[in-house]
């Protein structure tokens, strides 16, 4: 059809705690905010009223932004909307680092890790 081609990147920060039992005892926190990067017109087409534009209002439709985020916090919901709009996942990347542990006054046996993950979606 006459749909525009382009890319949308979905990103989120997360954290989790791993105790002595390693991954058997990992505790994950929920996703606090899902960010959206891409052309304004594409982001509005896919996410509609669930797109929070307050950090970059009045952005021209053909300009890129990395300042939008979603009003919901379920990655599956974002992925479903992208799929329904004809996007496919092209790439993903994640980083993690130990942010807080016993040495910094954290729980005696636990280390708190933070991560940042991005998923790149494209539509031809």
pLDDT tens across 6-18, in order? 999 999 998 877 7
> For the residues of 68-98, what is the DSSP string, one character each?
EEESS--HHHHHHHHHHTT-EEEEEEEEEEE
Predicted pLDDT of residue 109: 61
- Cα(10)–Cα(35) distance, integer angstroms: 6
23, pLDDT greater than 60: no
Provide the token pair at 122.
């494209």
**What b-and-e string marks burial along 14-30, b requiring 16 or more CB atoms within 10 Å of the CB?**
bbebbeeeeeeeeeeee
Contact predicate 64/37, CB 8 Å:
yes
Contact predicate 36/69, CB 8 Å:
yes
Selected residue with higher pLDDT from 112 and 63: 63
3 to each of 42, 52, 86, 95, how far by Cα in Å?
9, 22, 9, 33
Using 50, 70 and 90 to split pLDDT, how confident is the model at 76? very high
Q: What is the pLDDT of residues 24-50, one digit of tens each?
A: 556 666 678 999 999 999 999 999 999
Using 50, 70 and 90 to split pLDDT, how confident is the model at 104? low
DSSP E strand stretches across the chain? 6-19, 22-28, 34-39, 51-52, 64-70, 88-100, 111-123
Predicted pLDDT of residue 49: 96
């Amino acid at each position: 059809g006459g749909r525009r081609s382009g890319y949308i990147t979905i990103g989120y920060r997360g954290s989790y705690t791993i105790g002595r039992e390693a991954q058997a005892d990992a505790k994950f926190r929920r996703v606090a905010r899902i960010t959206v990067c891409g052309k304004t017109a594409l982001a509005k087409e896919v996410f509609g009223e669930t797109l929070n534009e307050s950090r970059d209002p009045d952005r021209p439709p053909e300009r890129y932004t990395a300042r939008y985020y979603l009003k919901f916090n379920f990655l599956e919901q974002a992925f479903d909307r992208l799929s329904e709009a004809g996007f496919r996942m092209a790439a993903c990347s994640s980083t993690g680092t130990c942010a807080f542990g016993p040495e910094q006054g954290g729980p005696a046996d636990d280390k708190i890790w933070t991560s940042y993950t991005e998923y790149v979606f494209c539509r031809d």
